[in-house]
Amino acid sequence: MPKKRILPFIILGIINNHPQITGREITAEFDTEIGDFWRASHSQVYPELKRMVNDGWIYDATSKDNAKERYYTLTDEGREILNKWLGQLVTDLPVHEDLFSLKLFFIKDKHDKRIPQLIARQLVLLKKDLKYLMQRRQTVFPNEKTIQNNYGHYLILARAISRTQGQIQWLKDTQKLLKEEQ
């Protein structure tokens, strides 16, 4: 059995949220909205769209204005497949492929200077990420109504913020601990 493909389901979800979307706009979603928990480049997206049209999950239309653009929309079958996928419960936690943990793992000595260095860098990265996430929450969800209209999206953004804050707090605590005991 090959590795389970989930890219087509993500694309179904994107098209469902934005009917008449182009391949380029779908690709852009992976750089912004979805980028926190999945990545895909345009060279993955275009062939996938072709396959999905071929399988009858979506259909495409062209416009007179722009000869090259193709506008994709879900078929009934596609909508059905998306809903079925959304209803299937998750069976496993993801593996956090994390260079920070990996490097720490191999450092044995408590007083190794690389430990505070790695922590300091991780803090910089996480703080920058937190700032970005909070700014996005403000722009994407400026009022209660926008939250109600996209509740799942709101939830995971809130979750990402909470998680990042938690990690920052833990790193700060550890940093302090190491300094005190040094």
Q: Binding residues for DNA, per CB under 7 A?
A: 1-7, 22-25, 27, 39-44, 46-47, 49-50, 65-70
Q: Quote the least distance from Cβ 41 to a second copy, whole Å.
A: 12
With CB cut-offs between 5 and 8 Å by kind, which of a second copy, DNA, none does residue 1 bind? Answer: DNA
Q: What does the alpha-carbon distance between residue 126 and residue 64 come to, in Å, rounded to a whole number?
A: 46
Q: Quote the least distance from Cβ 72 to a second copy, whole Å.
A: 16
Q: What does the alpha-carbon distance between residue 26 and residue 38 come to, in Å, rounded to a whole number?
A: 13
- Phi and psi at 24, nearest 5°, equal -65, -40
Query: Helix count (H) and strand count (E) of the chain?
Result: 8, 2
Q: What does the alpha-carbon distance between residue 19 and residue 26 come to, in Å, rounded to a whole number?
A: 11
Q: Provide the token pair at 14.
A: 């994107």
Q: Quote the least distance from Cβ 99 to a second copy, whole Å.
A: 5
Q: Quote the least distance from Cβ 126 to DNA, whole Å.
A: 22
The string of DSSP letters for 82-102 reads HHHHHHSPP-SPPP---HHHH
With CB cut-offs between 5 and 8 Å by kind, which of DNA, a second copy, none does residue 162 bind? Answer: a second copy
Instruction: Find, among 105, 104, 95, 97, the residue nearest to 122 by Cα.
Output: 104
With CB cut-offs between 5 and 8 Å by kind, which of DNA, a second copy, none does residue 150 bind? Answer: a second copy
With CB cut-offs between 5 and 8 Å by kind, which of DNA, a second copy, none does residue 66 bind? Answer: DNA
Q: Which is nearer to DNA, 74 or 119 (CB)?
A: 74
Q: Quote the least distance from Cβ 66 to a second copy, whole Å.
A: 28
Q: Which is nearer to a second copy, 64 or 145 (CB)?
A: 145
Q: Which is nearer to a second copy, 53 or 160 (CB)?
A: 160
Spatial contact of 100 and 118, defined as CB atoms under 8 Å apart: yes
